[in-house]
């Protein structure tokens, strides 16, 4: 999320910062800005939209200098506009900074600083850092950053400049990547290698809790408590294209692989273990009303519609509120019934899907309270809804949605748990649920550590023209999602069904050439799914089973098994979808398909 670049040296600053930002634009592009030091204080330029907008507005502008910082934003707190765009400054405009990550305790810090006379201008969590550093400043910007960060909870990749010390940039890292580019009489700092490799291939990777003092001829490293740290300069060998994709061949694979982190980001600050409850600040004013809703309708399209189905199961199980899931495109035209006490939740990664937006407007016209679950902050759906929950999964570039899906299911799990705790779920059960949710990033990571068997399956089945995906309960929507992933990117015909529905039609398709992917984890419907597997085997179908780790029986029944770790049933979809994302990915690659931009599809469908 977001891109950071800083430079100190002899080059003209604006082209260096702009070219760095352009290379990081895939990380976020809702607004961008620069701050430059040139002996006349701090000069700032910001624009909404892509970097070219900033570039255009700088055309003919005399912004110049040899020290500066730049940022391309992917909003988390506050809509994308020029005020909320980085860099942010302190009350008196002596300090400017750019930040990636989320300051979790920014509200408490902001109240405290406001009480001390600081004037805030933006809705962002980041601005708090500028004031906090100003508050701690006693003539040494390095020390002020260290003192300020000691009070911060959350994640940051940070670059700070101060007009009273114009020969330095201070950078710090906690949970958000930051790299120093060491040049010849010049130095860089960036969130991505891509921004610095055109200038130097000597890199120092900051670790969490480290602060760097960057000057033109020297870089020094410290801890937050000012102990000196020795760092190694490493040679970068990757080429630019590979770097932008984090070293992966495709954005889709990168996004699959980053799910342990994106799940953590979606849950960050939202799980209260002691109380066994979730905290969802964005909808707090509606949560009691929602817990007493007569009915919840969820509208969505595509992959988001699949997460909605899982949400339905979760909310009905834990909160006992009736939930209906509708295709947004159907809902908008069929004069839906909205009674008093109806909530409509729109789920959309992009927040721009035309049908979902129209369904939402229809629901509002009919008097529903509307909530949004979106990834893109400040998107149309996020703005149109009465309140909402953001995914914080970072920009998703691959057209086939992967990390946004698992974050949607995670956010729905948080919501179901919160509603459930307001109803019948005990605090002991709540604590158990919180603990299980906290384990999810580690469990997903475990699956991602063992992709080779899935790649081998892809090799075996890449030429089959049809696939069937079957699952029950929480895994039924995963059957739909697995089939959708495969058809989207490999153009193989695939259908997803509830396993028991197979006998009402799809069973006619089964013969020795039909691979049937069962999502057959050990939950309440496990025995029933085993019978469905037998039915497929009896017709010579090929069974590939995604099953629970240690399930010995499955080895005898299925032709191929993919084991995943165990968790509570309602969280199982977050794990069971991962092998199916990988299977689709590897098959598509082997078939020579354009994985990130499949034919005929679009990432954001803004037309009907």
Q: Is 342 in the site for ligand G6P (CB under 6 A)?
A: no
Q: Which of 84, 124, 146, 349 binds ligand G6P (CB under 6 A)?
A: 349
DSSP 8-state secondary structure symbol assigned to residue 211: E
Q: Which of 37, 377, 399, 572 binds ligand G6P (CB under 6 A)?
A: 399
**Contact range with ligand G6P by CB under 6 A, out of 111-119, 295-303, 511-519, 529-537:** 295-303
Encoded one letter per residue, x for contact with ligand G6P by CB under 6 A and - for no contact, window 356-375 reads x-------------------
Binding residues for ligand G6P, rule CB under 6 A, total: 16
Of 24, 7, 27, nearest in space to 16 by CA: 7
Q: Is 400 in the site for ligand G6P (CB under 6 A)?
A: yes
Bridge partners (DSSP) of residue 546 are 519, 562
For residue 306, the minimal CB distance to ligand G6P (Å) is 8
Q: Is 407 in the site for ligand G6P (CB under 6 A)?
A: no
- The structure tokens listed for 585 are 């990915």
Q: Is 401 in the site for ligand G6P (CB under 6 A)?
A: yes
**Which helix (DSSP H) or strand (DSSP E) does residue 210 occupy?**
strand 210-215
* Catalytic hit among 2, 162, 374, 547: 2
Encoded one letter per residue, x for contact with ligand G6P by CB under 6 A and - for no contact, window 301-320 reads xxxx----------------
Q: Is 348 in the site for ligand G6P (CB under 6 A)?
A: yes
User: How far, rounded to the nearest angstrom, does the alpha carbon of residue 236 sit from its chain's CA centroid?
Assistant: 27
Q: Is 262 in the site for ligand G6P (CB under 6 A)?
A: no
Q: Is 494 in the site for ligand G6P (CB under 6 A)?
A: no
**Contact range with ligand G6P by CB under 6 A, out of 168-176, 184-192, 499-507, 599-607:** 599-607
Burial 567-592 (b: 16+ CB within 10 A, else e): bbbbbbbbbbbbbbbbbbbbbbbeee
Could you list the beta-strand ranges (E) of 216-322. Answer: 218-223, 228-229, 234-235, 271-272, 277-278, 295-300
SS (H, E, C) 407-446: HHHHHHHHHHHHHHHHCCCCHHHHHHHHHHHHHHHHHHHH
Q: Is 155 in the site for ligand G6P (CB under 6 A)?
A: no
SS (H, E, C) 60-76: CCCCCCCEEEEEEECCC
For residue 399, the minimal CB distance to ligand G6P (Å) is 5
Question: Residue 547 catalytic?
Answer: no
Q: Is 146 in the site for ligand G6P (CB under 6 A)?
A: no
For residue 383, the minimal CB distance to ligand G6P (Å) is 15
Q: Is 298 in the site for ligand G6P (CB under 6 A)?
A: no
Question: Residue 549 catalytic?
Answer: no
Bridge partners (DSSP) of residue 560 are 544
Q: How far apart are CA 234 and CA 205, in angstroms?
A: 8
Q: How far apart are CA 595 and CA 608, in angstroms?
A: 24
Give whichever of 400 and 571 is closer to ligand G6P, judged by the CB atom: 400
Bridge partners (DSSP) of residue 439 are none
The residues binding ligand G6P (CB under 6 A) are 301-304, 348-350, 353, 356, 399-401, 601, 603-605
Q: Which residues are catalytic?
A: 2, 603
């Amino acid at each position: 999320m977001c891109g950071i670049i800083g430079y100190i040296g002899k080059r003209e600053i604006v082209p260096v910062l702009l070219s760095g930002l352009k290379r990081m634009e895939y990380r976020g592009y809702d607004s961008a800005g620069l701050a430059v030091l040139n002996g006349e204080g701090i000069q700032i330029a910001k624009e909404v939209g892509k970097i070219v907008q900033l570039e255009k507005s700088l055309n003919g502008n005399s912004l110049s200098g040899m020290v500066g910082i730049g940022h391309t934003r992917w909003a988390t707190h506050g809509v994308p506009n020029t005020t909320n765009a980085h860099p942010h400054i302190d009350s008196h405009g002596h300090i400017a900074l750019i930040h990636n990550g989320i300051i979790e305790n920014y509200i408490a810090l902001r109240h405290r600083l406001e009480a001390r006379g600081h004037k805030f201008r933006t809705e962002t969590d980041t601005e708090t850092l500028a004031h906090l550093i100003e508050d701690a400043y006693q003539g040494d910007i390095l020390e002020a950053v260290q003192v300020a960060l000691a009070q911060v909870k959350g994640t940051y990749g940070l670059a700070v400049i101060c007009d009273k010390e114009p020969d330095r940039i201070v950078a710090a890292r906690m949970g958000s990547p930051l790299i120093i580019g060491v040049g010849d009489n010049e130095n860089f700092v960036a969130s991505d290698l891509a921004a610095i490799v055109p200038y130097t291939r000597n890199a120092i990777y900051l670790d969490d809790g480290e602060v760097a003092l960057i000057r033109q001829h020297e870089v020094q490293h410290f801890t937050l408590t000012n102990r000196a740290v020795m760092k190694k300069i490493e040679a970068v060998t990757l080429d630019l294209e590979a770097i932008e994709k984090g070293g992966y061949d495709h954005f889709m694979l990168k996004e699959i692989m980053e799910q342990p982190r994106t799940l953590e980001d979606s849950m960050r600050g939202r799980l209260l273990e002691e109380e066994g409850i979730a905290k969802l600040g964005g909808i707090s004013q509606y949560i009691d009303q929602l817990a007493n809703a007569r009915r919840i309708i969820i509208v969505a399209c595509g992959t988001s519609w699949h997460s909605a189905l899982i949400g339905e199961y979760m909310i009905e199980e834990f909160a006992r509120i009736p939930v209906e899931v509708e295709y947004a495109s159907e809902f908008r035209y069929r004069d839906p019934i909205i009674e008093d006490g109806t909530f409509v939740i729109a789920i959309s990664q992009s927040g721009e899907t035309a049908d979902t937006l129209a369904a939402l407007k229809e629901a509002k016209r009919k008097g529903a309270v509307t909530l949004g679950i979106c990834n893109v902050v400040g998107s149309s759906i996020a703005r149109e809804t009465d309140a909402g929950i953001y995914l914080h999964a970072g920009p998703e570039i691959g057209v086939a949605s992967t990390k946004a899906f698992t974050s949607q299911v995670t956010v729905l799990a948080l919501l179901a748990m919160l509603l459930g705790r307001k109803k019948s779920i005990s605090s002991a059960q709540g604590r158990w649920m919180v603990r299980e949710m906290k384990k999810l990033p580690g469990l997903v990571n475990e699956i991602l550590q063992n992709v080779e068997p899935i790649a081998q399956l892809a090799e075996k089945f890449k030429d089959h023209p049809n696939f069937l995906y079957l699952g029950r309960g929480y895994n039924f929507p995963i059957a739909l999602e697995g089939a959708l992933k495969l058809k989207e990117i490999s153009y193989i015909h695939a259908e997803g069904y509830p396993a028991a529905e197979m006998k009402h039609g799809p069973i006619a398709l089964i013969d020795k050439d039909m691979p049937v992917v069962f999502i057959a984890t050990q939950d309440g419907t496990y025995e029933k799914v085993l019978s469905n597997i037998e039915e497929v085997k009896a017709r010579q179908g090929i069974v590939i089973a995604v099953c629970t780790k240690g399930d010995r029986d499955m080895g005898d029944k299925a032709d191929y098994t993919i084991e995943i770790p165990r968790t509570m049933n309602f969280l199982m979809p977050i794990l069971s979808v991962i092998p199916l994302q990988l299977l689709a990915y590897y098959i598509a690659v082997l078939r020579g398909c354009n994985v990130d931009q499949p034919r005929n599809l679009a990432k954001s469908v803004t037309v009907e």
